[in-house]
Chains A and B, each alone.
Chain A
Amino acid sequence: MNWLMVVVGAAVGAPLRYLVDRAVQARHGGVFPWGTVVVNVAACTVLGFLTGAAAATTVPPALQHLVGPGLCATLSTYSTFSFETLRLAETGAKPSAAANVVVSVVAGLAAAFLGGMAGQALLR
Chain B
Amino acid sequence: MRPDRPDDTSPAPGWQAQPVDPDTAVDPWPPRRAPSPGRRQAEILAAVTAGGVLGACARYGATLLWPTVPGAFPWTTFWINVTGCAAMGVLMVLITERTTAHPLVRPFLGTGVLGGYTTFSTYAVDARALFGDHRAGTALLYLAATLVAALFAVWAGAGLTRLLALPRATRTEGEA
Contacts and interface: CB of A to CB of B under 8 A. Distances in A.
Interface hub of A43, A82, A104 (most chain B Cβ within 10 A): A82
B154 A15 contact: no
Contacts of A57: none
Contacts of B74: none
Contact of B55 (A40, A74, A84, A90): A74
Q: Is the interface of B mostly helix, strand, loop or mixed?
A: helix
Interface residues of A, number: 59
Nearest to B153: A82
Interface in B97-129: 107, 110-112, 114-125, 127-129
A79 B24 contact: no
Interface string B1-43: 0000000000000011001111110000000000000000000
Interface residues of B, number: 56
Interface string B35-61: 000000000110011011101110110
A18 B107 contact: yes
B53 A113 contact: no
A33 B107 CA distance: 17
A76 B56 contact: no
Contacts of B81: 78-79
Interface of A: 3, 6-7, 9-11, 13-15, 17-19, 21-22, 25-26, 31-33, 35-36, 40, 43-44, 46-48, 51, 68-70, 72-88, 90-91, 101, 104-105, 108-109, 111-113, 116
Given A72-B122, A78-B118, A112-B121, 19 more contacts: A11-B49, A14-B49, A17-B48, A18-B48, A19-B45, A21-B23, A33-B20, A35-B24, A47-B124, A47-B125, A51-B128, A73-B122, A74-B116, A75-B121, A80-B22, A83-B154, A109-B124, A111-B124, A112-B127
26 contacts: A6-B60, A11-B49, A13-B56, A14-B51, A14-B52, A14-B111, A15-B48, A17-B115, A18-B23, A21-B23, A25-B24, A31-B20, A33-B21, A69-B56, A70-B56, A72-B122, A73-B59, A77-B116, A78-B119, A79-B85, A83-B89, A83-B92, A87-B15, A91-B20, A108-B124, A109-B124
Interface of B: 15-16, 19-24, 44-45, 48-49, 51-53, 55-57, 59-60, 63, 81, 84-85, 87-89, 92, 107, 110-112, 114-125, 127-129, 143, 146-147, 150-151, 153-155, 158
